[in-house]
Chains A and B, each alone.
Chain A
Amino acid sequence: MSKHNSLEKLAEINSHVQVHDQRDRIVVQVGQCSASIGAYDELESIKTKYSETHRIEVAGCSGACFSGPRVTGLDSSDIFSNDQDFFKSQTRYVLQGIGEIAWDDIRQYISIGGFEGLAKALSVTSEEVIDIVSDSGLRGRGGAYFPVALKWKSASSQRSAPVVLVNAEEGEPGLFKDRHLMEGMPFRVIEGALIAAYASKSEEILIYVNAEAELAYSRLNISLQKCQDLGLVGKNVLGTDFSVSIRLFRGAGGYVCGEESTLINTLEGRRREPRLRPPFPTESGFRSLPTVVNNVETLCNVPLVLSSGPEKFRSNGTSDAPGTKLLSLSGNMPYRGLAEVPFGITLLSVLQDVGGIKDLNDLSGVAVGGPSSGILPTHLLDLEILPGIIDGKNVMLGAGGVVALSKNTDPYEATIHLSKYNAAESCGKCTPCREGAPKIVSMLESIRNSSDRSDEFKRLEMLATTVNAASLCGLGQAAGNPFLSYLNHFSQEQGD
């Protein structure tokens, strides 16, 4: 069948799934976040009251976790109206539709442009898809910000057909963006993965879902089934020559499993520890096949890049860092939840305009980028949200976790806390991380109350530098960051 039929085929599917229920909708947002505060009870009571008169649908969480469980359709408000402060400063690109459409309704997904990106991709060659994504400047959103097109190209030029591996491990504390995407828009995750597979000439997609992300897993599973039933996954996708299988896997548990080579090891049933590079996964990854590992957020950008074009994507963010970034906001701020902002915006404006923080004196600092990064003092919050290191030293954006520390939280204790996390999550393979990370903790703890810690800080600086410089994988190479950023940003003020 010709490739040019893919758009027609999509229209055919769309007409096939049309339903003609004209009743008004009530949409209840159920995510792992809101489920824990009673979303299912809310859903049940709404069903009892309104199932005769209304169509009751379940959507994912819009990101306003602070005000869940949320219901729309009972009055004239839309999902944004109650919390305008939180939403108005966001740029919702990859999150569009989440919270609005039923997560499992493929018709609604198609109605907002879903699978258009896939159909367009299939109407051109793999190489052309890579060119389009390359034009957009899309980089990976898992924390390393590697150019997506480059990764696909590298994998597609190997001798064997590659495997596309969706990294939905998201094991970092304070991070919940991928879960929101999988729960709220599972079809977009699948569509992104399909395009990635087509572009990199792969016929096999594996999705590796965090072991605790129960809801994300089950929704992906159901959505995958629907896609298979409609010919969107399997043999001759959308009537083209492109055939692909998708399988879901549960994560093996542990922060380090998000590290791509560790993820591959665990997927093969091996010990959870990183592999040596080279070879890189794009050369030899899962079962020694070339492997494209893409983060969920990354892949959710892909269908939109295809359907609405790279220019639209580039219209957000900066020229070097185009597009938006999902930030997981938590800690001491009024609006805790998932927000999407363009690259280049300052951290301060995120905290104030989106997070709703009024007085910076309520904070002792802001931890950005999770345990592999560090804590920024309040006077440095005008730094821009950009890929990589943002303070010129040891604090990086990572996957976009932002935790505001209250003024009652001592940044020193928070530094110990982050360091402890790194020590505990070390896979145990390499000496600097396994042995060094816990020693950072024990030394910090032992000098907690010393009046003069300068000598100890010198030793700690050497130790943290060594852990970063000598460790095997990205996690170990960042395990010294919490201390080093404390040293950079807090030790002067605190008289050290």
Chain B
Amino acid sequence: MINVTVNGSSVEVEEGSSVLDAVNVSGTPLPQLCKDPDMKPIGACRTCLVDIEGTRGYPASCSTPCLDGMVVSTRGSELDDIRQTVIGLTTGMVSNFEYGSDSHKELSTVASTFGIAESDFEPRQREPVDSSNPVFNIAMDSCILCGRCARACQQGHQFIGAIDVVGTATDARIATFMDKPLIDSICTTCGQCLSVCPTGAISTKEVPEKIVDYVKTTCPYCGVGCGIVAGVGEDGIIQEMLDDPDNLSSLGMLCVKGRFGYTFVHHEDRITSPLIRRNGVLVEATWEEALDHVAEKLTEYRGDSFGTLCSAKATNEDGYVQQKFARVVMKSNHIDHCTRLCHSPSVEAMLESLGSGATSNSYIDYEEAGCLVIIGSDANSNHPVAASRMRRAVIEHGAKLIVINPRRIDMCDFADLWLRPRPGTDVALLNGIANVILSEGLEDISFIKDRTEGFDDWKKVVEKYDPEYVETVTGVSKTDIIAAARMYASPPFSGSCLIWGMGITQHTMGTANAHGLLNLSFVSGQLGKPGSGISPLRGQNNVQGCGDAGCIPNAFPGYQPISEDTVEKFSAAWGGVNLPAESGLVVTDMVPAIDEGRIKAMYVTGENPLLSEPDLAHAEKSFRSLEFLVVQDIFLHETAQIADVVLPACSFAEKDGSFTNSERRVQRVRKVLEPVGNSKADWAIFCELAEKISSITGEDFGSEFSYAHPSEIWDEFASLTPLVAGINYQRLENGGIQWPCPTDDHPGTRYLYEKDFPRGDRAKFVAFEQGKPADELPTKRFPLILNTGRILYHWHGGTITRRAHGLLARASVLQVAINPDDCDSYGLTSGDKVRIKSRRGQMEAEVLVSEKMNSGEIFVPFVKLQEQAANFLTNAALDPDSRIPEYKVCAVRMEKI
């Protein structure tokens, strides 16, 4: 610590602080228009000038390092005059600047505190407003060119670079490349620029009402788990969503969904009352009626004929109570959630080879890595803030980046190497990379010797996959395979991270693919140390937590597999009830079980299988054949519309709880507003149902379903789950904690597997041969490969994002991306309409000519827009190990409409 004097009072600041930091610590007001608290100084506004004893002139305090013993003064007659003149020049940039009002945010405050009554200077004419973005405008006539927005878009935060200060002298302006409208630039509408603008020059089109309360909580979209701060108006409506600089996962960043996608909470489509189907029609009912009805019906299906889907969007506490309800009250282990449709192959592979299924490293490890491999993941669209941190590694720290993807995703712009395998040939490619690592002697011999098993058997398989052979299978050149192996196994500094998504898992060879990746990390020892690791990027905000909480058919909370011991443990913990002792069915097996008449009743929470299942027409037929279907959700989506009873649930904004993100960080979800309509928290609904069923069946659950607050649920979960035993709500007040966290004084765990693995001392190599690339390959009738995935502006099937107007405005029609050559041969241009057919169904979409696509492959995001959805086409063929459907590849044909 160093001591300095500011205006006569002594201040202590950390070594490395700036003089401005010291002034701020002292509480002395000083304008700092271009200085964002969490970005490096820019030094453009020149309003934070100070006088430092022994230093010539008036240095800008933001960029002056603070030295021990400095005597700093913020006032002085000449200094005051100079600052006033600078502020006058600054306000003079703004047309119609109103002195004495607060119309221009920080600038108004500065002007009235330090400035003059009126600027001496003629305001100058500026560029017009860019209103091309549907969510916010950039008004150059209110811009003071402080550069914060450009910095936030670039090195300061997002590493996107859509806007910059362009032009010199009085022609300087905030602009995009080639001065295109913002909407036509690479802008992703993340709004980071807006969040740092000190004058309101960048502002939302809808002006927020006065905000009376700010509540810190966690973003409900993807698995990155960004910190958000909801600003609530007097009417109890969320007016704006801010980023949270204190959050260690997001570091003050947000993407477009996090910042502008919250409006679904207040959407008119929210279900506000329970609905019961009477005479074929869903009609409003009271909670009493609805719960009585559900309880009565459910008593008929206790045991094997009951299945339930939990929600990876709901809290850990919701999931925990739901799985407990299924096991304790319904006596069924047919419990699953959407992980089956995304990362179950990763989890299967990791369970077999490591003994636990989670991302081994933290986002900070991406930033510290010397090499990042992003395979089968369009992180820019699906994990935007994690992607920003990956770009930081590449742009700021010089890490190598390898992208492996058949599509030219945006991340390729930053890549050292882009491998473009034929769809479904990943096993061969990964074996090929391993082959090079071995043949070039790049393997980590001591890691293999001391910490793995199965190496020799695996090696025998891999030896066949020399680069020449792999080139013929995958279409990736031998040179690139070799280069990738070298980069990954011997990064220029630190370690290497493997990052993957659905492009790896949603294949009939999904589990084999995941094993291929794990094997790479074992053979090169890129595991269990900083800057390395294996990262299946989690899709849903709480898909990690949902599994942790036990919403899976084969294990109790904390991945404690169903066995005699665990049944006994949980039975004892849960009031001595009888628990089903056999593992249940996974979701993709529940659908056939419905068809077989085995499952007769289902309870679906916060999921919309009739949009997310493959082969939708078939799935709908199955769900319609159920005898009893309860859907508990916030919107009356496709599945809810065919339910017997619909129960209105609270959204994330209306309840307390916790989410666990992709880096295993448990973070608080806080109640921002009162429940919309008559909605209730999921956990509370299950507790009430348990009571009702108890009163019908006479089975006494004691106090097992009475909780005063979600913190009590967490505490029960933690007491039964060693992974999170040391975490409680009190600790979470100071920010999230990464599991494993076994004790109250444990700080949490940044990366796993430093010394051993959950399965023991050794990780296990598991070999796979390349099989048939996909269940369904192109034929004469269906000559094209359809690839599905997501786009930045929509979340999964779009049930939520279609109800967030800002997001819908950025992407309102379903587009199919087609290679220009294919467009030529089909006679298509952008904007044309096409009909796409597979053996199972058809859909219509708008053509987007895209060089990102390979010829012969087309891409449609699986969001449903204007009644069109890709999952009408996809194939329900399953990976034999994890039971995930092959969303990524199916054969289709296409015709112009």
Contact = CB atoms under 8 A, between A and B. Distances in A.
A426 B120 contact: no
B557 interface: no
Interface in B38-64: 41-47, 49, 57-58, 60, 63
B85 A435 contact: no
Contacts of A437: 169
A426 B172 CA distance: 10
Contacts of B565: none
A428 B170 contact: yes
A431 B45 CA distance: 5
Interface stretch (B88-96, B664-672, B814-822): B88-96
A276 interface: yes
B663 to A, nearest CB: 29
Given A271-B165, A272-B168, A428-B145, A436 B89 contact: yes
A431 B89 contact: yes
Contacts of A436: 85, 89
B85 A462 contact: yes
B705 to A, nearest CB: 60
Contacts of A228: none
A430 interface: yes
Nearest to A287: B398
Contacts of B165: 271, 273, 428-429
A469 B147 CA distance: 21
A392 interface: no
B771 to A, nearest CB: 47
Interface string A456-471: 0001001101100111
A148 B45 CA distance: 33
A30 interface: no
5 contacts: A272-B168, A428-B167, A428-B169, A429-B44, A439-B121
B44 A435 contact: no
A277 B55 CA distance: 14
Contacts of A426: 168-170
B720 interface: no
A434 B145 contact: yes
B86 A428 contact: no
B774 interface: no
Nearest to B144: A431
Contacts of B167: 428
B442 interface: no
Interface in A434-463: 434-439, 442, 459, 462-463
Contacts, number: 99
B387 to A, nearest CB: 23
Nearest to A273: B165
Given A469-B57, A470-B82, A276 B63 contact: yes
Given A278-B65, A431-B144, A466 B85 contact: yes
B350 to A, nearest CB: 39
Given A428-B145, A439-B121, A472-B46, A434 B86 contact: no
Contacts of A466: 81-82, 85-86, 89
Contacts of B49: 469-470
Contact of B46 (A425, A432, A442, A463): A432
B46 A430 contact: yes
Interface string A283-299: 00000000000000000
A273 B42 CA distance: 11
A425 B169 contact: yes
B169 A424 contact: yes
A254 B41 CA distance: 25
A434 B169 CA distance: 5
B569 to A, nearest CB: 56
A491 B81 CA distance: 23
Interface in A182-227: none
A470 B86 contact: yes
Contacts of A277: 63
Nearest to A256: B168
B164 interface: yes
B171 interface: yes
A348 interface: no
Given A462-B85, A466-B85, A469-B58, A431 B46 contact: yes
Interface string A468-494: 011110000000000000000000000
A431 B171 contact: no
A472 B43 contact: yes
Most chain B CB within a 10 A radius of its CB, from A425, A428, A431, A434: A431
